[in-house]
Amino acid sequence: MRTIIIGDVHGCYDELIALLQKVRYRAKKDRLIMLGDLMDRGPYSYEVLQWAIRHKKKNPDTFFMIRGNHEQMLVEQSKALDTRMIWRVVGKTATLRSFAKHKDRMERYIPWILTNMPLYFKDEDYRCVHAAVEYEDLDQNSMELMVKDHSYSKKNLYAGKITIIGHTPLDEPTYYDGGGQSGIFLPYHEWNPLPSNGAICIDTGCVFGDKLTAMILKDSQYYLEYVDSDIEVENKAHRYVGLIKKFCSLPVIRRFCSGSNAR
């Protein structure tokens, strides 16, 4: 059985379907794992979620999804001012618009997300989380780290069992060996031995006009494939999240804010 792992989709429905076709995905013979952030930013969050719901119903034993920070923001439905403002900046409006076209509300799917999108996936040879991992025992890691953290993976300090992550958009799939140095870009279209330790990030910024990446695992080897994106959304997080946090640190505003780091 092949395992196919796909990075952050963010409402890029056409790219998702094109990538599955390109890797010749067979629902009854392959295991499929999606690393979270199915929604927000891109224009087709409703279509991606509906596809996932149908596909999970048909293939409950071979299709798995990890919860990303964008699903977690929906689950939490925070009343804190900074969290609400940040979610708007990083793509909530696009999802609201996508669901409104179909006269549906994304809040209806919170129970489904909680049931079908756990914080991690664990296999004998590898594991998957959305954002980052510090401890090899996944239950020792906080939800904030596994779902929301943007900095820890780039520090390259994790050297436990190999973990596949997304969340942080990079120019190319990148391997972090745990040695504290810069990550190593990984080539597409080559079969290579799967490292036993460290982390591999396969979020390659599909919604920002780059590409959607899949990692294929078979017999302790991996192969990377991609499709180019036809969608290019401005990444407003770097421009506005810091300003929102600074605004919410003002004493008169602070009591309405929670200090969220969800991006």
Domains of the chain are 3-254 (3.60.21.10)
263 — pLDDT class (breaks 50, 70, 90): very low
The pLDDT of residue 259 is 52
Q: Which residues lie below 8 Å from residue 238, measured CB to CB, with a gap of 6+?
A: none
Contacts of 83 (CB under 8 A, 6+ apart): 73, 76, 257, 258, 260, 262
The pTM (predicted TM-score) of the whole model is 0.91
pLDDT digits (tens, 9 = 90+) for 179-213: 999 999 999 999 999 999 999 999 999 999 999 99
Per-residue pLDDT band for 87 (boundaries 50, 70, 90) equals: confident
* pLDDT the model gives residue 248: 66
- CB atoms near residue 62 (< 10 Å): 18
In the chain, at which residue ranges do the beta strands (DSSP E only) sit? 3-6, 31-34, 63-65, 120-122, 127-129, 163-165, 174-176, 184-185, 192-193, 199-201, 211-218, 221-228
User: Of how many residues is the chain composed?
Assistant: 263
